[in-house]
Structure 1
Amino acid sequence: MLQVPQQNMFDRLIWKSDDCLLLDDLVFRVMHQKTGKWSGGEHFIFYKIQPLIEQYAHYFRRRYDFQPKNIFELGIFDGGSIVFWHELFKPQKHVAVDLADRMDSPYFQKYLTSRDLSDRIQTVWKTDQADKSKLSYLMRTMFDVAPDLIIDDASHLYEPTLASFEALFPLMAPGGLYIIEDWAWEHWRDFIAPPEWSGRKPLTQLIIELTESVGSWTNIINDIAIYQGFVAIERGSRIIEDPASFNLKEHIYRRSVDQFATSIPGYQRIINYLKHRL
Structure 2
Amino acid sequence: MEAGRDTEELRSLILAAGGSAEQIASTVTRVGPDRVAAILVDELVHRAELGTIPQLAERPITVSFDFSFEGKVFAHAVTSSGTRTEPAPAGEEAPHARVELDLVQVNRAVFGPPGARHGTDRRIHWRDFEDQQALAGNMHVVPVVQHLLSGLEDQPIDLAGLSLRSGSDKWGLHYYTPHYERHFRPLRDRPLTILELGIGGYDDPAAGGGSLRMWKRFFPRALIYGVDVFDKAPLAEQRIVTVRGDQSDPAFLESLVTDIGPVDIIIDDGSHYCPDVTTALRTLFPHLVSGGLYVIEDLQTSYWPAYGGSSERLNEPTTTMGLLKQLLDGLNHEEYEPAGHHEPTEFDRTLTGAHFYHNLAFLEKGRNAEGSLPGWIGRERPA
* Cα distance in structure 2, aligned partners of 1:14 and 1:149: 22
Q: Match of 1:206?
A: 323
Greater Cα radius of gyration, structure 1 or 2: 2
Query: 5+ residue gaps in structure 2?
Result: 1-153, 201-207, 311-317, 335-347, 370-379
* 2:164 counterpart (21, 25, 29): 21
* Cα distance in structure 1, aligned partners of 2:270 and 2:180: 18
Residues 202, 166 of structure 1: CA spacing in aligned structure 2 closer, same or farther, 3 A cutoff? closer
* Cα distance in structure 2, aligned partners of 1:54 and 1:211: 23
- SS of residue matched to 2:257: helix
Q: Match of 1:131?
A: 249
* 2:196 counterpart (52, 73, 77): 73
* Cα distance in structure 2, aligned partners of 1:157 and 1:66: 33
- SS of residue matched to 1:139: helix
* Cα distance in structure 2, aligned partners of 1:90 and 1:158: 33
Q: Match of 2:73?
A: none
Q: Is the 8 A contact 2:350 2:368 kept in 1?
A: yes
1:52 aligns with 2:168: no
* Cα distance in structure 2, aligned partners of 1:95 and 1:168: 14
* Cα distance in structure 2, aligned partners of 1:186 and 1:173: 27
Q: Match of 2:333?
A: 216
- SS of residue matched to 1:155: coil
Residues 137, 173 of structure 1: CA spacing in aligned structure 2 closer, same or farther, 3 A cutoff? same
Identity of aligned residues (%): 28
TM-fit CA distance, 1:68: 5.6
* Cα distance in structure 2, aligned partners of 1:69 and 1:85: 11
Q: Match of 1:197?
A: 307
Residues 235, 88 of structure 1: CA spacing in aligned structure 2 closer, same or farther, 3 A cutoff? same
1:64-103 alignment runs, 5 A limit: 67=190, 69-77=192-200, 78-100=208-230, 102-103=231-232
1:164 aligns with 2:280: yes
Q: Is the 8 A contact 2:198 2:268 kept in 1?
A: yes
* Cα distance in structure 2, aligned partners of 1:72 and 1:12: 18
TM-score (norm 1): 0.58
* 1:149 counterpart (259, 262, 265): 265
TM-fit CA distance, 1:89: 1.2
* Cα distance in structure 2, aligned partners of 1:88 and 1:130: 29
TM-fit CA distance, 1:198: 6.6
* Cα distance in structure 1, aligned partners of 2:327 and 2:353: 10
TM-fit CA distance, 1:12: 5.7
* Cα distance in structure 2, aligned partners of 1:174 and 1:103: 30
- Count residues with an aligned counterpart: 189
TM-fit CA distance, 1:172: 1.7
* Cα distance in structure 2, aligned partners of 1:211 and 1:9: 35
Structure 1 counterpart of 2:248, one-letter code? A
Residues 154, 8 of structure 1: CA spacing in aligned structure 2 closer, same or farther, 3 A cutoff? farther
Q: Match of 1:272?
A: none
* Cα distance in structure 2, aligned partners of 1:66 and 1:237: 24
Q: Is the 8 A contact 1:68 1:149 kept in 2?
A: no
Query: 5+ residue gaps in structure 1?
Result: 1-6, 29-45, 188-192, 240-262, 264-278
Query: Which structure is higher in RCO with an 8 Å CA cutoff and minimum separation 6?
Result: 1
* 1:122 counterpart (241, 249, 260): 241
* Cα distance in structure 1, aligned partners of 2:302 and 2:180: 21
TM-fit CA distance, 1:130: 1.4
- SS of residue matched to 1:87: helix
* Cα distance in structure 2, aligned partners of 1:10 and 1:94: 18
Structure 1 counterpart of 2:326, one-letter code? E
CA RMSD of aligned residues (A): 3.1
Alignment deviations for residues 59-102 of structure 1 (CA, whole Å, 9 cap, x no partner): 445x46774610111111111111111211134422111123x3
Structure 2 counterpart of 1:139, one-letter code? V
Q: Is the 8 A contact 1:9 1:88 kept in 2?
A: no
